[in-house]
Each structure stands twice: as C-alpha cells, then as structure tokens.
Structure 1
C-alpha cells in the first residue's frame, strides 16, 4: 500500500482542518488533532488517522457534537465528573487535566470520570500524558457491544479497553500498557478482512455464533473476550467503572458510532496516583525492574520517547486511501 509521510506539524494541521470543515469548533478540532497525531507517533497508529475518519463522519452526521462545551463538576476534592456534551472524550479530558494533575499531586489519588462522550480513541493517550506529569494512571472505557461473554453467546460487552501508564527515570518515555478486554481489537478484524487474511482461532464468532477464522464472517458476528470467562470478567469490571460510575450508557444500550444521529454516550474513568508521596525513587526503581525483565526476555511495552511539543523531525505516515478520504473533508479552492 502506498503511504505518504508528513511532518508532525503538517499532520496536525491536516487533522485540525478536516475536523473544522466537518463541523468541529476550534477547541474540539485542536484537541482531536493533537490526540490523532499522538496515536500515530507514540501509541497505536491504527487508532490515529484511520480512526479520525469515524470522527469526521460523526461530525457531519450529527451523532458527534462538534460544538460541544463539556461541563466539569467537583463532587469531592479528589473526584472530577465530566459531561462531554455529546462531543469528543479528548476535549472533556483536556479541560479537566490541569485540575486532575493538581489534585493528584496535592491529595495523592484522584479520579476523573466522564459520560456523554464519543468513543475514546487511543486510551493509552490519556494515561501517557499523566505519566509524563509523573503520575501513575489507570484508565478504562466502554464501547458499543461487539463482544460475546461466552462462545455461542450474543454480543453484550464492548471491546472495553484498559490502559495503564507509570513514570520512569526517563520522564519522556513512560511505561504504557493499552489493550482491549476482547481477544483482539475490532480494527484488527477489519484490517484482516481488507487483506483477505485468516484470523487466529479464538478471536471471533460468525453471525450464527460459531467459531470462525474468516475475518469477513467475524465482522458480521461477534468478538470473543480474551482468556474466555476471565476476559469476560475483565470486560464486566471495565463496564462497571467506565459506564456504571460515570453514568454513561451500558455497552448494550450504546448507539452505533458509525450510523444514525444518536449520541454514543460512552464512558471513561481514570484513576491517577502520585507515587513519589510514598516512594521518592519509584520511577528509578521501576525502570531498573523493567530492565531486569527485558534482560530475561520478557516483553515490556511502551517506553517510547514522547515529547510535549511537536518536533519537525518526527514523521507521520498515512496510508493513501485514508489520506484521500480525509482530504475530501477539506474545503476546496475558492
């Protein structure tokens, strides 16, 4: 597949302009563009620019509020509750982050929970930003039901991802773990179907509830939780924290993020911890432990340098079909 490489600032301008043209206000466009480039550079590229298309179609269709003005309440000093106003999850978090960081540094532990938002995109983005601030962070979010609780069962959970991040001795290269509670992410099925590849057993069921290795059949069916009932239990815990605590819709009740005009109403909850209040050398100790694990052949995720400001030497690669689809949202020459 042909790909084009953009500087980080060019990629961010592209995303921001497309969002504005699709109906997003300046704050929403900037917030989403920043998250999109961050996913492409530091996180999971498949939920960067390819996923941006879902937001753009959502703005145009009206199921994603481009004029959202999230409201933030403080039920207790350590708790922040956000109503995303039918807009992006990223904007609600951006508005709350300064207070979340400040309260965590003061109190040791703080909680942010949000409802009435669109799907969260790359969940690792949120915890990665908090880890750069020196905080441990755990995030969970729910999404429309596409995961069966048992083999042969109906879809009852979303992919319900969870993400974790912790600061290390290199403050710009935190430990970041970001994974779904399903056996794989939905985007991986779509990629396999487009490429005509088979998928591993245990990933999905077809429309009749039978195990399948046909990616196209899996897209018409349901995903499976990782590890059977253990993964389903994790998906349920995520649902309790992301939707139950925030007041968002349960996955079974959520609107389709790709069809109609009804707001998705996804939930997200983030717990932030200040480790230095207990162990001043937490970051150094964890870094050394991860080095020990790596030396033993253990896979250690994350630890890629992340920069607060866009650096021109960082290139963003975009597949040509995705780029062409995004450019259709840009205003034409006058």
Structure 2
C-alpha cells in the first residue's frame, strides 16, 4: 500500500512554492504554478496535481520553463488582451491579465485573452473555472507539442488540444467541462507506461502507425482522437484558436515539453462572457436546469464533483503519495 502524507492546502502551496523557487522560478512564477497544481489536487485531479508539479520542476531545471520570465501584456483593442509568456509558464500571464480580463468582460460583455511562448497548461479547466467563480461564462483552448494523429493520419500533428468550458451556477460549484481532443489525456498514457499497464484499444498507435494497447509503444507513437474524425476536427479547431489567433507555435513546430531545454511555445486562448448582460437570472436558471438534469434524468454534471472534492480537501487537507511529497520537499537548489 502506498504511503501518504496529509497536508493543509496552505502548506501544500508553500511546499510547492519553495521547491519551484529552488528550481529557479521567480516568486510570481512559483506562486502561479503552485496555485494551479494544488487547485487540481484539491479538486480531485491528482494526475495534473502535485504529481504533475514535478514536471514543472523538471522543466524549470532543464530550462523548458524560464523561471525568471515576466510576461509582456498588450491591448490591441478594447476587449482583447495579448500575452507573450517569454518562455515562462502559461499560468503567470493569465494571472497578470485575470482582473483586467474579468473586468473587461463585465463592462463590454465579452473579452478575449490570447497567449504565446508558454509552457503547457496542465489542467485547462483551471483557467475557465476561475472565471466562472467570478460569475463569468468562459471557454478556453490550448495546444502543445504534437502527440495526436489527425484525421487520415497515423503521425502526430496536434497536441491533445483540450477544450474547457465553465459557467456559474447559483448556490453551487460552477459547471466545468475539461476534455482533451484525444481519447485520453497524455498523462494517463505516460502513467500506464510507467506502471507497466496496458491501455484500452482505440487510445493510441505505435511508432509504425499500428493500433496498440502497449502504453510504452503508445508513448513513442501517436494518440488517437475521441470519436475519430469528429474529435480530430475539434483538435484542429483548438489549434486555430490557441496557436493561430495567438501566434503561438503550431503543434507540429513545438519542441517537447518533457525533454530538451526549449520551451514548447504553447498557445492559450480564453474567451470570457458576462452572462448577466444576456440574462440577469442566468446563474439561477442554470441552477434550476442542473437540478432538473441531475435529479430527474440522472445526468452527470461536470464540475460538481470537483466542488465536493474541494470542500473535503479544505476540511481534511490533501492526501498525497509520500514519494511525491518527498521529491518536492527535497528538490535541490538550482
């Protein structure tokens, strides 16, 4: 049985911040990465939580995340905010723009944020969810290095290219949908490979373009889109939003996020919408509809479970594997 450590949320964040700064991150970058990772762990997403934070530490050590980078923000139009992450984390640019993005959406009804030259995002729902907590409806898209075969291809051309959507619900945690265009997230393939487990059919191809259930072969091959051509088309839409609009690297041109010293130059696109300008009772109507869908029809509402996990984590703390805790706690100074 895996040994665990229980940490209060504040202690987990402090642990991560300190490790990131030892790895070469500025205080702001360390805070941004720690907050995102602890939030994912808190919300019941360990694959992109504290264990994934180790990927950030490795990237800081190797130079794939420039720890001292400060994003450059610009406003080419009243409701558009652009960020050049300058080779740093995806999270810091969004943090720097967040208040302005939310206030602009509240004033004009719509506001868009586009970022280039960043490391990969981790849990994309984190970005949309934060806006929903501020009462806004949000759509987010991001890309990264090529991992996913496109429609008609057996070679990687897109990243997993997730799409996230969030909306406020009166008296409840927000609706948060966060899903990759691939049949599964890359972290799940990598975890299965590390543990020597097989993966389901339809998840991936090997390096020769043949369907495989061997996770280690899948890591060297290509992921498959969910729903065949339909999922691949969504990956292409995400690519246009995340890389095209923001002038970020196309997935085909993005360096690896797991090896080497180059930043992948990933893109991030976020659209924020003020629902009250469309319908003053939006969040209340959402609450009624969600209650009807879940109660009368048994529909799973994404995001509600995250809210429940969050409440439990706030009361009981985070339970993380001891080996993950010790690696973060003992991360050496750069």
User: Is structure 2 residue 103 aligned with structure 1 residue 99?
Assistant: no
The Cα shift of 1:43 comes to 5.5
User: Is structure 2 residue 28 aligned with structure 1 residue 27?
Assistant: yes
* Equivalent-residue separation in structure 1 for 2:23 and 2:333 (angstroms): 9
Decide which moves more: 319-328 or 75-84.
319-328
User: Is structure 2 residue 14 aligned with structure 1 residue 18?
Assistant: no
Name the residue aligned to 2:272.
272
Within 5 Å, which residues of 2 pair with 1:130-149? 130-149=131-150
- Consecutive unaligned residues of structure 2, counting only runs of 5 or more, are none
* Equivalent-residue separation in structure 2 for 1:307 and 1:298 (angstroms): 19
Where 2:307 maps in the other structure, the secondary structure is coil
The Cα shift of 1:168 comes to 0.4
For each residue in 1:250-304, what CA deviation from the matched residue of structure 2 results, as whole angstroms up to 9, or x when unmatched?
0000011121111210000000000011111111111111111112122211024
* Equivalent-residue separation in structure 2 for 1:285 and 1:168 (angstroms): 8
Within 5 Å, which residues of 2 pair with 1:221-300? 221-295=221-295, 296-300=297-301
Where 1:313 maps in the other structure, the secondary structure is helix
Name the residue aligned to 2:317.
315
Name the residue aligned to 1:108.
109
Question: Do the aligned partners of residues 114 and 243 (structure 1) sit closer, same or farther apart at CA in structure 2, a change above 3 Å counting?
Answer: same
- Consecutive unaligned residues of structure 1, counting only runs of 5 or more, are none
C-alpha contact (below 8 Å) 1:192/1:199 kept by paired residues = yes
User: Is structure 2 residue 63 aligned with structure 1 residue 68?
Assistant: no
The Cα shift of 1:306 comes to 8.4
Name the residue aligned to 1:164.
165
C-alpha contact (below 8 Å) 1:5/1:318 kept by paired residues = yes
* Equivalent-residue separation in structure 1 for 2:174 and 2:190 (angstroms): 30
* Equivalent-residue separation in structure 1 for 2:64 and 2:11 (angstroms): 28
User: Is structure 2 residue 193 aligned with structure 1 residue 193?
Assistant: yes
* Equivalent-residue separation in structure 1 for 2:104 and 2:132 (angstroms): 15
Where 1:68 maps in the other structure, the secondary structure is coil
* Equivalent-residue separation in structure 1 for 2:44 and 2:213 (angstroms): 27
Tell me the TM-score normalised to structure 1 length.
0.94
* Equivalent-residue separation in structure 1 for 2:190 and 2:261 (angstroms): 23
Decide which moves more: 199-208 or 128-137.
199-208
C-alpha contact (below 8 Å) 1:151/1:224 kept by paired residues = no
The Cα shift of 1:320 comes to 2.4
Question: Do the aligned partners of residues 60 and 283 (structure 1) sit closer, same or farther apart at CA in structure 2, a change above 3 Å counting?
Answer: same
Name the residue aligned to 1:214.
214
Name the residue aligned to 1:176.
176
Report which of the two has the higher share of helix: 2
Decide which moves more: 317-326 or 104-113.
317-326
Question: Do the aligned partners of residues 218 and 37 (structure 1) sit closer, same or farther apart at CA in structure 2, a change above 3 Å counting?
Answer: same
Tell me the TM-score normalised to structure 2 length.
0.94
* Equivalent-residue separation in structure 1 for 2:94 and 2:123 (angstroms): 13
C-alpha contact (below 8 Å) 1:151/1:209 kept by paired residues = no
User: Is structure 2 residue 60 aligned with structure 1 residue 59?
Assistant: yes
The Cα shift of 1:151 comes to 6.5
Give me the CA root mean square deviation. Answer: 2.1
* Equivalent-residue separation in structure 2 for 1:307 and 1:208 (angstroms): 41
For each residue in 1:183-214, what CA deviation from the matched residue of structure 2 results, as whole angstroms up to 9, or x when unmatched?
10011112222333322111111111111112
The Cα shift of 1:133 comes to 0.5
The Cα shift of 1:137 comes to 0.2
The Cα shift of 1:315 comes to 1.2
For each residue in 1:43-63, what CA deviation from the matched residue of structure 2 results, as whole angstroms up to 9, or x when unmatched?
622111111111111111112
C-alpha contact (below 8 Å) 2:44/2:309 kept by paired residues = no
